[in-house]
Amino acid sequence: MTTLNIAVAGSSGRMGRVLLKAVTQALDLRLSAALEQTGNSYLMKDVGELIGAPCSIAITDNFSAALPGCDVLIDFTCPAGTFEYLSICRTKGVKMVIGTTGFSVEQKKALKAASRDVALVLAPNMSVGVNVIFKLLDMAARVLSEGYDIEIIEAHHRHKVDAPSGTALHMGGVVAQALGRNLSEVAVYRREGVIGERVPSTIGFASVRGGDIVGDHTVMFAGTGERIEISHKASSRATFAVGALRAARFLVGKQNGLFDMQDVLGLR
């Protein structure tokens, strides 16, 4: 059995800790580096303090020294952090699984360009269930293309900094593409005051932030006399870690290219 050497970025964060634990518990994976930004209070501390299990890996901000020898870096941080890691991974031949959201159009183009040199899995949501939902949404949108208004509602914890979530935006993109629409032209992100009747071709978004909600997403197709709702509710971040590890394994043998979870799960 081939053992993959895995590095985890943002190790002290909520998702980072879940990833560390998942990697150390997997029989075919080995944690080879735990990364954090300069100034983080956990630097040089043992990973074991974060996951409650013995581990001899110290958290470091010396990315250039830590990443060589790693097969895959798993990154659930922020766009600026992702590109800092990417610049090193690109030159060292370290593949990346990127679960970071909030990238601009230009940043997405830059990721595409970088994938000519290194293999990347980029997905707004690593959950296996959510990616099955994406497939269902494509089917539903094609069947419900006439007479149904489409609204997307998402809810996350109070600490999430971007809205709508990357998953909600991707859901909107899947639906818009299935309907032959451009999401940037039909998306409605805010409603306030006297706004007039709903334009039939639009796709509405609503965001909720509060408490410790891991992630809830619902796409509503509201027609006359009926309403179809396709929902996913995450109760634990472990579901994202499971998907991220599947993505890391998928990259074995891939030298370059930009992939997503639909590729990983064979849903194309």
Each residue's pLDDT tens digit, 114-148: 999 999 999 989 999 999 999 999 999 999 999 99
What average pLDDT score do residues 179-185 get?
A: 97
Task: Indicate the average pLDDT of the chain.
Answer: 95
Q: Where are the domains of the chain?
A: 4-122+237-264, 128-234
128-234 CATH, one of 3.50.50.60, 3.40.50.150, 3.30.360.10, 3.40.1190.10: 3.30.360.10
For residue 178, give every residue at least 6 positions away whose Cβ sits within 8 Å of its Cβ, in sequence order, or none.
Answer: 137, 138, 141, 142, 145
- Residue 137: what pLDDT? 98
What average pLDDT score do residues 45-56 get?
A: 86
Helix (H, G, I), strand (E, B) or coil at 175: helix
- Residue 116: what pLDDT? 96
Q: Which residue do the tokens 């890996």 mark?
A: 57
Which residues are marked as active site? 156, 160
Buried b (16+ CB within 10 A) or exposed e, 75-108: bbbbbebbbbbbebbbeeebbbbbbbbbbeeeee
What average pLDDT score do residues 237-263 get?
A: 96
Percentage of the chain surpassing pLDDT 90? Answer: 92
- Write out pLDDT tens, residues 218-246: 999 999 999 999 999 999 999 999 999 99
Helix (H, G, I), strand (E, B) or coil at 119: strand
Query: Is 49 a residue whose pLDDT tops 90?
Result: no
Domain with residues 4-122+237-264, CATH architecture:
3-Layer(aba) Sandwich (3.40)
Phi, psi dihedral angles at 262 (to 5 degrees):
-65, -35
When pLDDT is cut at 50, 70 and 90, the band that residue 1 belongs to is: low
Query: Is 47 a residue whose pLDDT tops 70?
Result: yes
Query: Is 13 a residue whose pLDDT tops 80?
Result: yes
Angle at 149 between CA 226 and CA 182, to 5 degrees: 150
Helix (H, G, I), strand (E, B) or coil at 45: coil
- Write out pLDDT tens, residues 152-178: 999 999 999 999 999 999 999 999 999
What one-letter code names the amino acid at 144? L
- Write out pLDDT tens, residues 187-203: 999 999 999 999 999 99
- Write out pLDDT tens, residues 52-100: 887 889 999 999 999 999 999 999 999 999 999 999 999 999 999 999 9
